[in-house]
Amino acid sequence: MKKIINLSLGIWMTFSVIAQVPVPASSQNQPILLVGGVAHIGNGEVIQNSLIGFDKGKITLVNESSNNVTDSSGFKVIDITGKHVYPGFILPNSQIGLQEVSSIRAMSDMDERGEMNPNVRSVISYNTDSEFIPTFRFNGILVAETTPVGGRISGTSSVMEMEGWNWEDAAHTVDIGIHMNWPSKMNRKFDYNTYTAKMEPNKKYDGSIASLKELFKDALAYGTKLNPSVNLKLAALQGLFNGNLILFIHAGTSKEIIESVLFTKEIGVQKMVLISGSALLNIVGFLREHDIGVIIPPTHSMPSRVDEDVYGPYKLPSQLFEAGLTVSLSHRGMLAHGRNLPFFAGTAAAYGLDKEEALKMITSNTAKLLGIDDRLGTLMIGKDATLFVSEGDALDFRTNILSHAFISGKQVTLNNKQQELYQRFSKKYGHID
Amino acid sequence: MRLRGLIILIGLLLVNIQVFSQETVTPNDVHDERVHDYAFINAHLFVDYQTEIKNATLLIKEGKVIQMGANLTAPLDYILVDLKGKYIYPSLIDLHTHYGLPKAALAKSRGFTGAEQMLTKTPGAYNANEAIKSDFDASEVFNNNEKTATIFRKIGFGSVLSFRADGIARGTSTFTTLGDNPNKNILIQNAAAHYSLNKGTSKQYYPGSTMGYISLLRQTYLDAAWYGQFNPRPFLDQSLEAWIAGQNLPQFFDAGGWINVLRADKVGDEFDIQYVIKSGGDTYKRIEEIKATGATLIAPINFPEAYDVDDPIDALSVSLADMKHWELAPSNLARLEAAGINFAITSDGLTKKSNFLNQMRKAIDHGLSESTALKALTHTPAKLIQIDDQLGSLRPDMLANFIITSGKLFDEKTIIYENWVQGKAYRFQSLSTEDYQGKYTLTLDNKDYQMTITGAAGSEKAQLILNDSVTHEIKSALTATLAAFSFPLNKKTIRLSGWRTDSGWKGTGQLADGKWIQWNSTRTSDLDPKQEKKKLTTPPTDALGPVIFPFVAFGNETHPQQHTLLIKNTTVWTNETMGILEDTDVLLKEGKISEIGKNLQDPSALVIDGRGKHLTSGIIDEHSHIGGGGNDRATNSSMVRIGDQLNSEDINIYRALAGGVTAVQVLHGSANPVGGQSALIKLRWGVAPDDLKIKNADGYIKFALGENVKRSRNPSSTRFPQTRMGVEQVYMDGFTQALAYDKVWSVYDELPKKSKINIHQPRRDLVDEAMMEIINKERFITCHSYVQSEINMLMKVAEQFNFNINTFTHILEGYKVADKMKAHGAGASTFSDWWNYKWEVRYAIPYNACYHVH
């Protein structure tokens, strides 16, 4: 008990000492025109000398500045000559806002107990005061899918803006999909007798699939009942059958991917996206045939097998692109590192992918796979004015230096606690660069 | 005269028997002592692994060999056993068994959760560490086990060494024959002392890693030496008493895979002990290093089963290393033999012991010679356990432990008929010398049929030949006296029963319709000569894939060589005051940078065009855990050494190289305020573990602060310390103890030689010695650190003991006290951008490194 009191006191004291996260911006109150920047549209196109205008949170103008006489009156004009403008980067399959300090149980709200939790919803747990959020914006990530984890069905995810007074404020698209963790077919076992690894069938595999099947069949039947007694879990699954929700399938090996996709088709789910890694490479034909988009792990990962090409993770995006798949890049592991998403794309570009294609993997492709491409992912008229300006190439560590970022037209603060601490101690040592 | 001599000899033997039998037992009956004297005649006798006698006679009496030889006449009172066409071998010896011992409870995996058991809970006056079980005496709990004994006997074993696989020091084993009377069977009560790198059922927190197991062994050797000086003892430690007593026995180390074989041997070297080492089946991977140990091995023959790779996607989950091991493991013993390494063979690890001879045959098919195979199962194990005067060969006065086989032991079709243990027979197959093979005429119901019988008696096969293309299997049951056949004829079964005649059989039978008939069968000729299956003639190891170094994907068939290299016209990052040089040449000779400049020439050099490329000195990672990192568990683990557990086969060495990293400090983990000693290595892909080390490098040690050492993620933790206040005290205590220790030794060292004789040498303590090295500036600290208060604290502790902290690693709040670090003279090795994964790192900022530079 004493420990708990100490801990909560600690948290309180901390927040009283350091600054809060930056104050959320107010909504766009005047049209803004970005003039002269290199516009990376997010669909593969680049406009060298661009005009990007937006008003009331929506993009109203995308053009070349040289061959167009645009009336800039009424616009607040921002000259970004020599700089680059990008659609806001989108981080899929993240636990942003659900978890703060991972080592502390009290600070984690991402993994509900139980196996089948389609009814738990990440949106209501999204903490707009998370200290991570401003640091993600700092690198150009302006939107994220915040996603529950664990169990067989982890829960329902939502697309969130990286800014807001509260979760209702920050919600971009509520309840976009349900995340399912497909079981492993085989277990790896080390045999100390012969010093070799052995693959053994997972005895629980069939049982796990049977219980998934039962759940989905029950949900289908539930949907056809006229006056069912309410079942929160079955109700939460209904959107999968009418295309309102996407089923995100987390599957490890090639065979698990095939079985999970065929399973998903069989039970009548309308939309699905795969979340998997290098195992995708062996079955690209299958994935093309079924027209399934994929969300893949960060390029800054270790190869998944000892025998795999050391640069395998760097090459995976380009290999899957060559195979004709719609690919989106994501992050795994330490939450803080999610902010490196742009650089995952940068590495993909260094290993065989055209840079604008790499950009698509963190913008338009991701928007498409999350079902939000009507509003996000490219710099196009009518879409959300969620975009940012960088001094240089935003996919490069050295030149990803943001000067302006807008989320639905609101100009958001880029500096955060880290810059404040930098300035604070610069005062101590008497230098600031 | 000669006859008289023989009588006297027999007389002596009888006296011997009186002594040998168990006189202390009073029978619950009249006395019924019988003399079992056997003469095995006409046998093909293997006296030992290299001595064969054809048409030999073997005389045994009361469990011992009396005599053997070619022209030996069996005395009249001996029971004659005719072994025409059969073989006798000394029975086999297995030195790695747990035969007749209660099963040791399986050790459960112990993670970093739950309350740590810091002290021993073994009741009684035993060692302070539960993993030191040297007091265990297998003979105290041994009992023969008929079921297990039968399994061993059937595959040819006649005696085994039995130890309990529990603990780092496992106590003593007992050596026994596989008979049914422990009083008589145990030949050596305390046969060997056993050790391992596995703490077994010990629940004590320390040790918890290979380097920890080695440290505990090392300290126990020192403790035993110190304790043994005293008479009377300063206190009673029965484990140390037994340890000391056990040093006179053969020392057996259960190591496992080849890396552990090398590690075990190195521990032995430190204390002038040559262990007999139980290896894994993978010693072929580093045969040179294994040979250099000089150890005799106990090698298994449990080769991996073939992987199912029919499905190419499934096949991806089988690593190259595992595939290669599957291919090469059966050649392991042949390679040991070729390298001149002495070894015994154990049946340990076989899923089915009945598979033993098949596995031996596989090893022989892969190049192991039959005589070495036999040696490794008889002579070598007998010698290792110092019982070669009784076992391992069949000579006068040795134990009558032998097997009778149908042919050469390792031939494919050979069967073991009988296994004699100390003169008592265990029979599996009739010894009948009958040979039924041949062509026969079978006459029944006034008709003649052709019949053939093939195969050795007992497993013979009979066939009815109707014409060239139509044959019927005949079910047969043949003994020396009786015969039974049954077979279908015109879809009706005919059953015959009969007895042996000089030329075949005859008897009565019954047709399908119930009619009784008379029949007879006469042998007409031998079988047609059959073509022998061709044996492999090329040395099979040549047909196998190569061994690669390291034995993992991307390993090399040969070790990389140094070359003279000239890299031309490149951008050189000197990382020295010269800075970056454009369009420059660099000449490398004998592993050193020989010249940097323009237009360099060297005709002997391999030239590399560096245009458009960059050249830099290799990246050095101050904080790495690849190639053998790990964590032990004592609050102060200064005695554990990463260098004891380096792993040259870690794929991450290759991956780091691919990223430009050429050298790393392999650090102990951060679970304890004082972690272990680090190893500085170069990423020499392919060399043996010890060759990774940078020669003559300074000694370093890992310290750690904060949440990890407080065990913050384990709510049940009870280990001291639980606060940062306690962490400081661990250091204060550690260095204070070290100084006191140093003083005791200085006093002792300065004593004149004469006085030293009368005084006990102080105890050596490896924790204190490592701490003292730090104070003496012979070992340097790399400290895992986050929060400014603790960083400051450690510098103050160091200053009190007059040394400096060399490096603060992670050091995420270092920017807050960078001025103090500079004043102290500490270096920093920081994460570029990690934060908020623990409470103590929420103020980490990516500007940290730039502050330290400023």
The span from the CA of A186 to the CA of A170, in Å, is: 41
C-beta neighbour count of B574 within 10 angstroms? 16
C-beta neighbour count of B787 within 10 angstroms? 20
Q: Are residues A236 and A365 in the same domain?
A: yes
A387 in any annotated domain:
yes
Q: Which domain holds residue A34?
A: 21-88+377-433
Measured between beta carbons, the chain A residues lying within 8 angstroms of B313 are 253-255, 282-283
Q: Say which range, A56-70, A136-150, B746-760, has the weakest mean pLDDT.
A: A56-70
Contact B836 A302 (CB under 8 A): no
Q: Residue B539: its pLDDT value, please? A: 53
Contact A429 B842 (CB under 8 A): no
Q: Which CATH architecture has domain B92-105+117-308+317-389?
A: Alpha-Beta Barrel (3.20)
Name the token pair of B265.
Answer: 């041997």
Inter-residue contact B248 to B172 (CB < 8 Å): no
Q: Where in chain B is the domain with CATH 2.30.40.10?
A: 548-618
Q: What is the largest CA-CA distance in chain A?
A: 80
A282 in any annotated domain:
yes
The total number of structural domains in chain A stands at 2
Contact A310 B655 (CB under 8 A): yes
What is the rounded radius of gyration, in angstroms, for the C-alpha atoms of chain A?
Answer: 23
Contact A306 B553 (CB under 8 A): yes
Nearest-CA distance from A305 to chain B in Å?
8
A382 in any annotated domain:
yes
The span from the CA of B100 to the CA of B554, in Å, is: 45
Inter-residue contact A303 to A296 (CB < 8 Å): no
Q: Are residues A334 and A229 in the same domain?
A: yes
Contact B839 A307 (CB under 8 A): no
Nearest-CA distance from A206 to chain B in Å?
18
Instruction: Report the CATH number at residue A159.
Output: 3.20.20.140
Q: Residue A4: its pLDDT value, please? A: 40
**HSE (side-chain half, CA atoms, 13 Å) at B208:** 25
Measured between beta carbons, the chain B residues lying within 8 angstroms of A425 are 815-816, 851
**Mean pLDDT, residues A329-334 taken together:** 96
Q: Residue B853: its pLDDT value, please? A: 83
Q: Could you give the percent of chain B with pLDDT greater than 90?
A: 80
Contact A193 B655 (CB under 8 A): no
Contact A425 B851 (CB under 8 A): yes
Q: Residue A411: its pLDDT value, please? A: 97
- Report pLDDT digits (tens) over B751-810: 999 999 889 999 999 999 999 999 999 999 999 999 999 999 999 999 999 999 999 999
What does the DSSP 8-state code read for residue B839? G
A340 in any annotated domain:
yes
Q: Which whole-number Å values give the CA distances from B22 to B160, B168, B183, B444, in the listed order?
A: 22, 37, 8, 59
Q: SS3 sequence, B45-89?
A: EEEECCEEEEEEEEEEECCEEEEEECCCCCCCCCEEEECCCCEEE
Query: A1 at the B interface (CB within 8 A)?
Result: no
Average pLDDT of chain A to the nearest whole number: 93
Q: What's the whole-model pTM score?
A: 0.90
Which among A261, A266, A174 has a CA at the least distance from the CA of A216? A266
The span from the CA of B611 to the CA of B598, in Å, is: 13
Average pLDDT of chain B to the nearest whole number: 92
Using the predicted structure, report yes or no on whether residue B3 has a pLDDT greater than 70: no
Contact B837 A335 (CB under 8 A): yes
> Which of A345, A373, A401 represents a domain boundary (last residue)?
A373
Contact A253 B712 (CB under 8 A): no
Cβ contacts of A166-170, under 8 Å, gap ≥ 24: A166/A128, A167/A97, A167/A123, A167/A124, A167/A125, A167/A126, A167/A127, A167/A128, A169/A24, A169/A128, A170/A126, A170/A128
Q: Are residues A103 and A210 in the same domain?
A: yes
ipTM of the complex, rounded to two decimals: 0.91
Inter-residue contact B630 to B669 (CB < 8 Å): yes
Contact B816 A103 (CB under 8 A): no
Contact B842 A192 (CB under 8 A): no
A93 in any annotated domain:
yes
The span from the CA of B813 to the CA of B830, in Å, is: 10
**Mean pLDDT, residues B244-254 taken together:** 98
Using the predicted structure, report yes or no on whether residue B201 has a pLDDT greater than 50: yes
Q: Which whole-number Å values give the CA distances from A215 to A153, A225, B126, in the listed order?
A: 10, 15, 58
Q: Are residues A137 and A37 in the same domain?
A: no
pLDDT band at B741 (very low <50, low <70, confident <90, very high): very high
- Report pLDDT digits (tens) over B645-669: 999 999 999 999 999 999 999 999 9
Q: What is the largest CA-CA distance in chain B?
A: 117
Inter-residue contact A115 to A152 (CB < 8 Å): yes
Tokens 């196109």 correspond to what residue? A45
The region that residue B599 occupies, defined by phi over 0 for left and psi between -120 and 50 for alpha, beta otherwise, is left
The span from the CA of B631 to the CA of B619, in Å, is: 25
Q: Are residues A79 and A142 in the same domain?
A: no
Tokens 């592991």 correspond to what residue? A333
Sign of the dihedral through C-alpha A149, A155, A160, A164: negative
- Report pLDDT digits (tens) over A163-176: 999 999 999 999 99
Measured between beta carbons, the chain B residues lying within 8 angstroms of A400 are none
Please give the residue of chain A at the shortest CA–CA distance from B349.
Answer: A193
Q: Are residues A76 and A186 in the same domain?
A: no
Between B302, B316, B319, which is nearest A194 by CB?
B302
Measured between beta carbons, the chain B residues lying within 8 angstroms of A421 are 815, 843, 845, 847
What is the rounded radius of gyration, in angstroms, for the C-alpha atoms of chain B?
Answer: 36
> Which of A373, A400, A425 represents a domain boundary (last residue)?
A373
Q: Could you give the percent of chain A with pLDDT greater than 70?
A: 94
Measured between beta carbons, the chain B residues lying within 8 angstroms of A192 are 256
Q: Are residues A304 and A429 in the same domain?
A: no
Instruction: Report the CATH number at residue A54.
Output: 2.30.40.10
Element (H or E) spanning A145, and its range?
A: strand A141-146
Query: A8 at the B interface (CB within 8 A)?
Result: no
**HSE (side-chain half, CA atoms, 13 Å) at A414:** 16
Tokens 């103890």 correspond to what residue? B737
Q: Which of B813, B835, B838, B843 to mutate to test binding with chain A, by most A CBs within 10 Å of its CB? A: B835
- Report pLDDT digits (tens) over B817-832: 999 999 999 999 999 9
A158 in any annotated domain:
yes
Contact B302 A195 (CB under 8 A): no
Exposed e or buried b for every residue in A30-69, given b needs 16+ CB within 10 A? ebbbbbbbbbbbbbeeebeebbbbbbeebbbbbbebeeee
Q: Are residues A83 and A96 in the same domain?
A: no
Q: Are residues A273 and A344 in the same domain?
A: yes
**Which has the higher per-residue pLDDT, B408 or A67?**
B408
**Which has the higher per-residue pLDDT, B23 or A310?**
A310
Please give the residue of chain B at the shortest CA–CA distance from A339.
Answer: B833
Which among B170, B120, B159 has a CA at the least distance from the CA of B384? B159
Q: Residue B460: its pLDDT value, please? A: 85
Q: Are residues A117 and A97 in the same domain?
A: yes
Query: A221 at the B interface (CB within 8 A)?
Result: no
- Report pLDDT digits (tens) over B94-108: 999 999 999 876 655
**Mean pLDDT, residues A273-297 taken together:** 97
Between A302, A336, A431, which is nearest B837 by CB?
A336
**HSE (side-chain half, CA atoms, 13 Å) at B194:** 33
Q: Residue A81: its pLDDT value, please? A: 96
Q: Where in chain B is the domain with CATH 2.40.128.120?
A: 438-525
Query: A46 at the B interface (CB within 8 A)?
Result: no
Between B304, B313, B846, which is nearest A255 by CB?
B313
Between B314, B652, B836, which is nearest A101 by CB?
B836
Nearest-CA distance from B836 to chain A in Å?
5
Residues 6+ positions from A351 with CB-CB distance below 8 Å: A299, A311, A314, A315, A317, A318
Using the predicted structure, report yes or no on whether residue B425 has a pLDDT greater than 50: yes
Residue type, B511: L
Contact B325 A336 (CB under 8 A): no
Q: Give phi and psi for A187, each to the nearest 5.
A: -115, 140
Using the predicted structure, report yes or no on whether residue B43 has a pLDDT greater than 60: yes
Q: Say which range, A259-273, A383-397, B527-541, has the weakest mean pLDDT.
A: B527-541
pLDDT band at B595 (very low <50, low <70, confident <90, very high): very high
Contact B651 A306 (CB under 8 A): yes
Q: Which CATH architecture has domain B625-854?
A: Alpha-Beta Barrel (3.20)
A11 in any annotated domain:
no
The span from the CA of A52 to the CA of A389, in Å, is: 11
Cβ contacts of A183-189, under 8 Å, gap ≥ 24: A183/A152, A183/A208, A183/A209, A183/A256, A184/A252, A184/A253, A184/A256, A185/A253, A185/A255, A185/A256, A185/A259, A186/A253, A186/B317, A188/B317
Name the token pair of B433.
Answer: 């010398």
Inter-residue contact A345 to A330 (CB < 8 Å): no
Q: Are residues A276 and A208 in the same domain?
A: yes
Q: Are residues A251 and A294 in the same domain?
A: yes
Looking at chain A from residue 286 to 325, which residues have their Cβ under 8 Å from any Cβ of chain B? 302-303, 305-307, 310-311
Between A199, A334, A421, which is nearest B837 by CB?
A334
C-beta neighbour count of A222 within 10 angstroms? 17
The span from the CA of B775 to the CA of B781, in Å, is: 10
> Which of A326, A347, A373 represents a domain boundary (last residue)?
A373
CATH of the domain spanning B548-618: 2.30.40.10
Contact A196 B713 (CB under 8 A): no
Tokens 């738990």 correspond to what residue? A120
Q: Which fold has domain B438-525?
A: Lipocalin (2.40.128)
Tokens 């003994």 correspond to what residue? B479
Using the predicted structure, report yes or no on whether residue A404 has a pLDDT greater than 50: yes
Q: Could you give the percent of chain B with pLDDT greater than 70?
A: 95
Query: A210 at the B interface (CB within 8 A)?
Result: no
Q: Output the DSSP codes for B262-301.
A: HHHHHHHHHTT---EEEE-TTGGGGHHHHHHH-PPEEEE-
Measured between beta carbons, the chain A residues lying within 8 angstroms of B846 are 418
Between A255, A337, A418, which is nearest B845 by CB?
A418
Q: Where in chain B is the domain with CATH 3.20.20.140?
A: 92-105+117-308+317-389, 625-854
Inter-residue contact B197 to B214 (CB < 8 Å): yes
Between B325, B655, B834, which is nearest A196 by CB?
B325
Inter-residue contact B851 to B822 (CB < 8 Å): no
**Mean pLDDT, residues A89-118 taken together:** 96
Q: Residue B530: its pLDDT value, please? A: 67
Residues 6+ positions from A342 with CB-CB distance below 8 Å: A89, A139, A140, A141, A362, A394, A395, A400
Helix (H, G, I), strand (E, B) or coil at A230: coil
Q: Could you give the percent of chain A with pLDDT greater than 90?
A: 86
Q: Residue B468: its pLDDT value, please? A: 78
Q: Which whole-number Å values give the CA distances from B553 to B550, B629, B653, in the listed order?
A: 8, 20, 12
**Mean pLDDT, residues B830-844 taken together:** 94
